[in-house]
Chain A
């Protein structure tokens, strides 16, 4: 009986020993698993960040390329904001720039078919266009047609507009219509926005 008890105790001790060593191995395995998971998570995080960053770069580059592909022939430069006495016709000098190599017809083109450069302000903005003085065009001839002289603007030009504003702040979306060409080809007529904040006091 004693021997049987001793044998059972020895078996339990062995089992306990195995369990202890088994638990240690499990702990080691668990730690290893946690390390692996952490490494995997780190790698996923880095790869994901890289992927997102690459995507952002692609989007940015594509947008820049698309934006650069078709720039407007004419850019409105300034002013962004003017303050004028309310109810009185007041001068505003609008500055524009034409892309290098291009010209646009002046306000008084030399040919009836050509589209004149024209500034307007839509109704209902609280600001009325009371008139506009345009610069005289410079004479230009196409190399293939030296007999025909065109009246055009190139480089920078200004339109001296007169506006009448009611009291208050108005975000005016003026419009400039023009038609641009270079020496060999023409772009379709276009109307661009001329945004100005007009404060009538």
Chain B
């Protein structure tokens, strides 16, 4: 009888341990699922069928573009919402990004070409140098470099600062350049990461304009 009690107690203890392990396992799976969901919210390059150039798949495709409000080079607050009714290309770039520099003249040219149809480019500078909010010297240095770059490249569209603060909302931008094409209703209709071509950009602009 005593032996039975001991065995029963041991079994109950083991059951309790495994119940705990099961709970821990469930909790872990929950966390893993959340991580997966968070991961799925990041854009990624997906291999094209037939081994072509990988295509960028954004979690924002077909969804409302995340709202933002950033300072431009003159310190004026600019919000995406204020462009509702226009097709907008939100282009994340940085001064140190060679491919960004390559595509900038294309953006200038295409902006001029389609501005009359209600199209605008918002160049969102994303230096990714982890400056703290109170690092005035760091921000001033960044701003000076950006001002110079913008003048050199004749970027006549609004250039906004501190793109790092909104990059997560746009799918976690690990690579630049990154472009999001937004239609007149504020919906993302196309996205790309990396240097594409002027033709591809123009095609996406026309898509945003619903031509």
Binding site for B on A (CB under 8 A): 30, 33-34, 37-38, 40-41, 44-45, 47-48, 51-52, 54-55, 58-59, 62, 70, 111, 113-115, 142, 144-145, 148, 150, 179, 181, 183-189
Kindly identify which residue among A47, A52, A62, A114 contacts B98, using a CB–CB cutoff of 8 Å: A114
CB of B50 to closest CB in A, whole Å? 19
Kindly identify which residue among A34, A48, A186, A189 contacts B14, using a CB–CB cutoff of 8 Å: A48
CB atoms of B98 and A181 under 8 A apart:
yes
In the complex, whether B193 has a CB less than 8 A from a CB of chain A is: yes
State the CA gap A18–B24 with chains docked (Å).
52
Contact flag A184-B7 (CB < 8 Å), given A51-B22, A113-B96, A179-B96: no
Kindly identify which residue among A33, A37, A145, A188 contacts B102, using a CB–CB cutoff of 8 Å: A145
CB atoms of B21 and A184 under 8 A apart:
no
Contact flag A34-B7 (CB < 8 Å), given A113-B149, A115-B96: yes
Give the B interface residue count (CB, 8 A).
41
CB atoms of B4 and A189 under 8 A apart:
no
Kindly identify which residue among A30, A40, A113, A148 contacts B4, using a CB–CB cutoff of 8 Å: A30
- Residues in chain A near residue B8, CB distance under 8 A: 37
In the complex, whether B78 has a CB less than 8 A from a CB of chain A is: no
- Residues in chain B near residue A58, CB distance under 8 A: 28-29, 32
CB of B81 to closest CB in A, whole Å? 28
CB atoms of A189 and B128 under 8 A apart:
yes
- Residues in chain B near residue A33, CB distance under 8 A: 4
